[in-house]
Structure 1
Amino acid sequence: MDEVVFWGVVAARLLLPLAIFRYPLPAIIACLLLDGVDQTVFQTFTDLDLSNYQSYDKALDVYYLALAYVATMRNWTNPAAVAVARFLFFYRLVGTTIFELAGGDDRWLLLVFPNTFEYFFIFYEVVRLRWDPARFSMRWWVVAAAAIWVVVKLPQEAWIHVFQLDLTDTMRDVPWFTPALVAAVLAGLAVFWFAVRPRLDPPDHPWQVAAPPLPAEVDEARERAALRVARGKVFDTWLYEKIALITLVSVIMANIMPSVTATPWQIAVSCAVVIALNSVAGLVNARRGGGFDGAFATFVALSAANIALVVVAGELMPGDERFFRSTGFFFVFLLALMVTVYDRYRPVLEVRSSAYEAGASARRD
């Protein structure tokens, strides 16, 4: 039963973030709640030793936030909001990398680099429920992000990482805390209902929970391939962002998980080389008109190709056999998943950005 509960929770934490691409708001809230209760589930229903789970827990947090960032490319119709989300995400990612490489003891770094991205993502999706996000300006999104940063995330990061307090333990040990928390939530809801709600613009559309459909220009593999061919280069901003994203995520996860012995340098170089080779193969395949319409088929094909690369690297560099045959295989699936979703949805952002700029130019004229 212990094994069933453990692997059930881990499977949920690996699979649930994939729903963010189609149902962004309920899926990311579910990920947030599962992250908050998973250890309580283990403590309640199992007798497992959880001394190492905290490390895996942090790695799984990075995993689902990375997928949420890529989901902004698929779903968000306002490029200004995507730009703000990109800054918030990479700012936190760089801060987490510094924190982990510094030994994981300087917890004040997580206060300097707060995880504002997650709550900004939720804020955008709450807005999208009834309003068209495309009509809000860059300034509006920046002000929203700043308010979330100062009012929500700084106190939360201080609570968790500086004072190292646990919400469940505090509610259990401090008698007045739970009533005060409930009162604060009710006060916030009252302020929203009586002060904020009457000032909101009329809704633009009925409730929209599901993600918007892909633009017609890139909803098929051949159309995405044509856009990739039109760009014509392997080494471009798409590749650089993809390398930065996957390398930072991989370095963080490798440094967190105790079973990984590869150095950050090995992880970074390996990721960059494999991603560049994947991009070369993708461009060649696009010029031939190839590609899979299904994301799962693309993931399987890319995983097989990258496993072959790992095997070849292990043969060519026998001195690093342990790295290539253990750590290499561990990360090849993470890399394949991230490359698959990034390559699939980055063209969507390109098309929507072009349409947004064209519309803005028309309004100015």
Structure 2
Amino acid sequence: MTHASTVDGIVVALVVGVRLVVPLFIGRFPLPAILASLVVDGLDKSILQAFTGLDLTNYQSYDKALDIYYLSITYLAVLRNWRDRYAVNVVAALWYYRLVGVLLFELTGLRWLLLVFPNTFEYVVIALEVVRTRWDQRRLSHRAVLGLTAFVWIVIKLPQEWWIHVAQLDFTDEFLTRVLGVDPDEGWAAGFANRPWVLAALVGLVVALALGLRWLWPRLPAADWAFTLDADEVARRSGAPVRPAGVRAAVTRWAVVEKVVLVGLVTTILVLSYPRIDARWWAAWVVVAGVVLVHAAVQVWRVRTSRTGPTSLPGLVALNTAISLVAMSVLAALVADGRTGDVALVDALLMAFVVGLMTALYDRWAPESWTARRGEPAPLTAGADSSR
């Protein structure tokens, strides 16, 4: 192995590792972890271009998979932390609307679908998490939540989705070429040296924003608590019950159905976008649905028999991944059509890990009314939470 390939491998491992690990903090520290994931998502390709000699032709497929990964964790964190059921319902609708749009895009290749199904979910969650740092989110009226959603959808996301997915323009390249007047390969230093007034204007904009925030700050409503980024601290200060320790199982009918839909959509999108897997989309969904039902059956058995098992999240994810891998192998053999028999072990492990992680997080973070704890009756036939 050459020195260049070793360096390339280290850089890729660091970039992908950061993109996999940072989202795991979204449950406890949602706002900083989401923003960090967003920043890394925006910089990762530039870092790989600058520090490796790799061919990044297919990187968009991997990037999309990592985006779905961290956004899925963001949705599960909303279930974990938010107590305003109306706001949960709104962002859940936005999340599933986007997933359906991405699935349709993967099936048809029509880029305008991403404009029709924009990723409004992410920015609405960020905005409401900003509110939760100092105020009780439940103070927001239904009209305010819908107004915020409409603003993000129309003013922010539609132009952004058009720029990225329809016009297919790169912000960095366009800014360097059109604003700074240099070739993108020359870099930022050369660009600001060519047009230093742009740097001065950007500094002035930052100063103006800072002065605007300073003017606005004392005019905001009185805070409900001191600034915090800890979701558990928000729960304590708002008087909401803090989640009890221990392993829980989301096994109500609603929970099982949502896990099938959620994990099925996410995994099917990954299968369709992943360049090394060739499978029928409906077969992938059938396999994943079967795997989720296997997980639910195992959870019901554990709860009813008070069986012990992993209590740490890494242990639970590892066990769920192993169960997923076995179940996927069996179910895939039943629906294979000759195109699914050559899936590499590392790719099968990746898909099994996604299913294992999402089922583990859902079981831990779903609302209490959807779950049972060991030693309690497993409400597999119980109805869904009426507030959802």
Name the TM-score, length of structure 2 as normaliser: 0.80
1:210 to 215, 230, 239: 230
**1:184-222 residue CA offsets vs partner (Å, 9 max, x unmatched):** 66666655543x545421111011111216775741336
Paired residues for 1:137-152 under 5 Å: 137-152=141-156
- Quick one: higher RCO (CA 8 Å, sep 6+), 1 or 2? 1
Change (3 A) 1:288 1:258: same
2:139 to 132, 135, 142: 135
More helix per residue: 1
CA positional deviation for 1:284: 1.5
Change (3 A) 1:182 1:87: farther
Change (3 A) 1:216 1:328: same
CA positional deviation for 1:143: 1.3
**1:214-247 residue CA offsets vs partner (Å, 9 max, x unmatched):** 775741336x35xx6xx7x5xx111111111111
1:274 aligns with 2:273: no
C-alpha distance in structure 1 between counterparts of 2:206 and 2:288, whole Å: 44
1:119 aligns with 2:123: yes
CA positional deviation for 1:257: 1.2
Change (3 A) 1:278 1:41: same
Match of 2:323 in 1: 305
2:362 to 329, 339, 342: 342
Match of 1:322 in 2: 341
1:244 to 246, 251, 261: 261
Change (3 A) 1:55 1:120: same
Match of 2:312 in 1: 294
CA positional deviation for 1:4: 0.6
Match of 1:108 in 2: 112
Match of 2:76 in 1: 70
CA positional deviation for 1:77: 2.4
1:84 aligns with 2:84: no
C-alpha distance in structure 1 between counterparts of 2:298 and 2:70, whole Å: 27
- What is the aligned-residue RMSD (CA, Å)? 2.9
CA positional deviation for 1:310: 3.5
Instruction: Please say if residues 93 and 249 of structure 1, whose CA atoms lie closer than 8 Å, have aligned partners that are also in contact.
Output: yes
C-alpha distance in structure 1 between counterparts of 2:101 and 2:329, whole Å: 33
CA positional deviation for 1:323: 5.8
- 3-state SS, counterpart of residue 297 of structure 1: helix
- 3-state SS, counterpart of residue 341 of structure 2: helix
Q: Which moved more, 1:205-214 or 1:245-254?
A: 205-214
C-alpha distance in structure 1 between counterparts of 2:168 and 2:208, whole Å: 26
Match of 2:274 in 1: 257
C-alpha distance in structure 1 between counterparts of 2:365 and 2:274, whole Å: 29
Change (3 A) 1:315 1:94: closer
Structure 1 gap segments, 5+ residues each: 358-365
CA positional deviation for 1:19: 1.1
Change (3 A) 1:341 1:186: same
Change (3 A) 1:317 1:250: closer
- 3-state SS, counterpart of residue 65 of structure 1: helix
What letter corresponds to residue 116 of structure 1 in structure 2?
T
Match of 1:29 in 2: 35
**1:34-56 residue CA offsets vs partner (Å, 9 max, x unmatched):** 11111111111111111111111
Change (3 A) 1:264 1:286: same
Q: Which moved more, 1:131-140 or 1:141-150?
A: 131-140
- 3-state SS, counterpart of residue 367 of structure 2: helix
Q: Which moved more, 1:132-141 or 1:163-172?
A: 132-141
C-alpha distance in structure 2 between counterparts of 1:316 and 1:253, whole Å: 21
Change (3 A) 1:189 1:144: farther
What letter corresponds to residue 326 of structure 2 in structure 1?
A
Name the TM-score, length of structure 1 as normaliser: 0.85
C-alpha distance in structure 1 between counterparts of 2:66 and 2:46, whole Å: 16
Match of 1:2 in 2: 8
Match of 1:362 in 2: none
Structure 2 gap segments, 5+ residues each: 1-6, 182-197, 372-383
Paired residues for 1:144-183 under 5 Å: 144-175=148-179
1:54 to 60, 68, 76: 60
What letter corresponds to residue 105 of structure 2 in structure 1?
F
| Length, aligned pairs only | 344
1:220 aligns with 2:238: no
Instruction: Please say if residues 255 and 370 of structure 2, whose CA atoms lie closer than 8 Å, have aligned partners that are also in contact.
Output: no
- 3-state SS, counterpart of residue 221 of structure 1: coil
